Amino acid sequence: MSDKSPKEGSMNRRILDLLKGDLREPAARVLADDELHHYQEHANNISIRRLGYNDHGPVHMRKVVLNALTMANLLNEGGVKLSLEAEEVGTFSDSLVVLFLSGLLHDIGMSVTREGHEHISAMLAAPLLDRILPMFYGDDIRAATIARATITECVIGHMALTRIHSLEAGLILIADGCDMEKGRARIPMMLSTGARVGDIHKYSSAAVEKIKIERGQELPIRITVDMNTSVGFFQVEEVLYPKLNSSPAKPFVELYAGIIGDPLKRYL
């Protein structure tokens, strides 16, 4: 399958750059998987056209992958072991596989409905993982089983409605919350024809110019939210911060936000 948009193609290349070595070839196959892509595309159709929400499709899911892999690498460089490695049931590479697949699968349940979509995503992901996990693990049933269990935790935990415990799931939770730049609300804003309850999510997202994930000064990860108007603080305080506050990765994250040109506020 060819890339459906230049944006997806660019993001695929960035993802593969973060998955070097033996992970690149199977990851490239997953990124080109037709069934997965159709789930992602239809999830976006349901989200934007039927429900009037923001992007929950292939671009969003790839953004979550990029965010999660970036944070995982920052933790690793800072000497923090992710849960699979710390518990001696996997390696850092296994955690990267988990984050990669969780990010691509976490919102496919939106192809059905919004309410409870995280659990629907886990259900729809099961047969996909039957095909995909052997690409990474061959006949290593133990490694594939542990990866599947952790992916399921990541997927059902990304709404912060189910308590999670692994750093892997905590990173997906934060990575999802970090996708709130104005581009995510572009299509819903164009399609909007009138006021409706909940529009604050679109308008506040449109105020967020840039999310930066980089090495922190005191902690391994620093997240900075740059916005053009104060309405963007809604996204920080009502979307990102609650997810960060529920994440097992919270102790390793600094969070800053502010209007471009003004002093930054530190939340964590």
pLDDT for 53 equals: 76
Under the banding of pLDDT at 50, 70 and 90, the label for residue 2 is: very low
Q: Which of 110, 137, 115 is CA-nearest to residue 56?
A: 110
The span from the CA of 71 to the CA of 183, in Å, is 21
Whether the per-residue pLDDT at 49 is higher than 90: the answer is no
Percent of the chain with pLDDT over 90: 82
Query: What is the per-residue pLDDT across 64-123, written as a single tens digit (0 to 9) for each?
Result: 999 999 999 999 999 999 999 999 999 999 999 999 999 999 999 999 999 999 999 999
Residue 76 · residue 176 · CB < 8 Å? no
Pairing of strands 221-227, 208-215: antiparallel
What's the burial of 212, exposed, middle or buried (CB within 10 Å: 0-12/13-18/19+)? exposed
Q: State the pLDDT confidence band at 1, using cuts at 50, 70 and 90.
A: very low
> pTM of the full predicted structure?
0.92
Instruction: Dump pLDDT digits (tens) for 203-219.
Output: 787 899 999 999 999 99
How far is Cα 70 from Cα 64, in angstroms, rounded to an integer? 10
Contacts of 164 (CB under 8 A, 6+ apart): 153, 154, 157, 170, 173, 246, 247, 248
